[in-house]
Amino acid sequence: MNRVIEVNGYHMEYRLFGSGERLIVVMTGMGGSFEEWVSLSEQLSESYQVLLYHRSGYGESEINMRSSRTSSHLLECTELLDALQLKQPIILVGHSYGGLCAQHMAKLILDRVVGVVLVDSTSHNLSILDELETPIMDGQYSDEDWRTMCRSYSNLSKEELERLHQPELSLEQQGLSSDVLARLKRFYQSPQLYKTMLEEESFWHDDASIIKQMGTFSSIPLIVIGRDSEAMIEEGINGGLPEAEIRLLEETWHDLIHKQLRLSNQSELIIAEKAGHQIHLQRPDTIIEAIHRIEQAGRIKTTGS
């Protein structure tokens, strides 16, 4: 059941699963709802305690007075952990932009984080993607088109947005339970979501630069999960995208995913075959496998074997 707790004067929405000596904290992507992670969290809860939460401006979590930066998000997360009195060692799971937040958090609270799983994560070198020559793809739907949409939606009332915007859910999202689908629809019909995403996007290049300058997170076990580039290229071609452009984008993204292995001297790579960016919905087994590998790495480190 979703719950709301007051944290530093603001309401935050969260959900807790299971119990255990390790706490898994999931950091969702930009515009992503934790509702998509419920089924996976239920599976993990057999061995772990799992925390899902909506950061400020997402779902029922109120917009607070802080800016929507990765540094603000990790402070908010630690405050939520304190409010819930969750003291266990943490395994961070960060998807997409949430992976950038997880990188920032791992570098700052080394004493509590015992493992990191980056799920098709945004790279701290994300500016490289902006330099790619993909004019046809950019002409079909550019970053500025996305910003225009977010500005438009953020200026509407909730009632207006509910009337005008019917979210287009992916096939994987459509396969979720009816109650989750109802909550997802409400999630995407909230003006504060689009206001928050705009602010997150406006800061993410600066945040990525700051996170890069902070270096690595040393010997914390790290599993990097990347999407299947060839599957994405085939899907793009079938969708009418020019092969040269989609291949350039996917090869560059894949290279950035590989370079994330340098963040730790205990890192491994998993490619989620036949999965795109929504790995948590398309190949949740790869995330479960990654958590098990993190546990194994921790045991080896502890025993020295």
pLDDT along the chain (305 residues), means of 10: 95 96 97 97 96 98 94 96 97 98 94 96 96 91 92 96 92 92 95 97 96 92 97 94 96 98 96 97 97 81 45
Q: Residue 296, Cβ neighbours under 10 Å: how many?
A: 11
Q: 208-250, pLDDT tens digit by residue?
A: 999 999 999 888 999 999 999 999 999 999 999 999 999 999 9
Q: How would DSSP label each residue in 76-145?
A: HHHHHHHHTT--S-EEEEEETHHHHHHHHHHHH-TTTEEEEEEESPPPTTTHHHHTS--HHHHHHS-HHH
Q: Name beta bridge partners: 44.
A: none
Predicted pLDDT of residue 138: 87
* Owner of token pair 């509910």: 162
* Owner of token pair 């009418």: 240
Predicted pLDDT of residue 296: 86
Encoding tokens for residue 260?
């994330």
Predicted pLDDT of residue 190: 97
Predicted pLDDT of residue 299: 59
- Closest-CA residue to 28 (of 98, 114, 132, 131): 98
Q: Name beta bridge partners: 51.
A: 16, 25
Q: What is the DSSP letter of 52?
A: E
- Closest-CA residue to 290 (of 275, 271, 274, 270): 270
- Closest-CA residue to 229 (of 204, 256, 211, 208): 256
